[in-house]
Structure 1
Amino acid sequence: MTKADEKAGCIWLPNFLKYNPPESPNVVKAWVQADDLIPECNLKTRVLQDAKDFLEGFSKPYQEAFPEAFEKASLNQEQEQEQEQEQEQEQESPLGPPTGDPPEASDEPPPEREVFDYWREKLGKTGKTKLTSDRRRKIQARLREGYTVADLKQAVDGILKSPHHMGHNDRSQRYDDIELICRGGAKVEHFMDLASGEGKAPASQFSGSRAARGGEL
């Protein structure tokens, strides 16, 4: 005789324990490992109840081993679920406070949006230019590294002082995307230096061989 839950892909043999009884209470405790392999379904409840009923014919140590083992497993599962929820919340709000009271509502835009809007205005981008996921990730990555919103705005000002990036190259192509500016810490610092007059802008023309090798880096 078998019991099955086709949707869950689970099959239970009620007489299995009759022909394979546990040799000790430790074996009963080890059933928890098998329980982890059973998919969540109504049949799983039936399996656990059958196992519990079967142990009524055994001595007290066997009967006590069953709830002890499964109570611990249930507690561990709850703790794991709580940890997963906390991790998901941290990932959803990488720039927000990890603990404590939620921040008060504010009319100020998120820092990545403030940087993006500044770049779009300074570079004369149209309203069709969107804060894509790639642009957002690059800005957030630099903010997490410790660069401030003011630093990234200064880097935006710096790229305006680079003729090469503004299109004065033998491809007549602009390389001014916020992704480029925030590609890495070195890029941010390079453009910040240009803005402050401490850096040196690239030559306004590529050499022919360099242009052939693939353009802007």
Structure 2
Amino acid sequence: MRNYGKVYTGFWTSEDILNMSEDSRTLALYLLTCPHGNMLGCFRLTNAYASDDLHWDVERVSKAFQELCTKGFIYRCERSFWVMIRRYLAWNQFENPNVGKAASKLFNTITPPEAVKALLATALRQFSPLFPASVLDEFGSSLKPFENPLKLDMETRTGTGTGTGTGTGTVAKSAVEHASHDSVKQIFAYWQEVMDSPKSVLDANRTGLIKKALQSYSSADICKAIRGCSKSPHNMGINEQRTKYNGLDLILRNADKIDRFIALDAGNARPTAQSETIEETNGRIMAEILGSTTVDRNTFDMEVS
């Protein structure tokens, strides 16, 4: 347990912080200074622990966490409750090589999901020159996810960013490609975690599906659709076939599917009648998702364990 956490005075005048709700600002400050944190800014924190420390109910904590994820302040694995403060290492540079060595020992002992640790490795490469580079060799080139993903996503679609083109509001080609590249990888990593499919590969088909969805939806909404699918018993394998229908080919097939899964995540899907049997419930859900009562197994993006 650390004795203190550093917060710059600029925290209170940052445009990103000022655009947050009061609860999210409070939670952000708590994450920067809470006793559960460490020198890497990557630690496990359940809603219950935060609720107890802040004297908030769990639902209030959950909503604030969701906003911080949406704003790009943190990355959080909702399955394991590991939190990574995206720019923590930029704000908390290691003071000398000995501190860097201590950080490497901590890095080797923490056990977040692989995707979270890979993101942490990227942050260490980008922000921590005193961290032993050899420790990070196993993570390869990794991602560069430290811009605000929603801001980049919006600039990509609307052309409101600052670019090198001659027209007003033109986004530079490299910025667009960078935004798309990072968003695709982040969304796929989220799908891997939520669906517990770490060995899946980001191939050309999945990349195309995510890029197409990003033309109409934000990264946050696509992740909500993924999470919504994970809340469907039928899609997660509780069906007569005992088969999971949770691939990106299904979730992102078209706008109707994405909207349905977002609604399911928000708890706004049509309620199930008490008189329905399990079989009837599964049939109704599948009919709503597919738009018909016929299931063509060849159309599903299924993972084989």
Task: State the TM-score bracket (shorter-chain normalisation).
Answer: 0.3 to 0.5
Larger Rg: 1
Instruction: Identify which of structures 1 and 2 has the higher relative contact order when contacts are C-alpha pairs closer than 8 Å and 6+ apart.
Output: 1
User: Structure 2 length as normaliser, TM-score?
Assistant: 0.34
TM-score by length of 1: 0.46
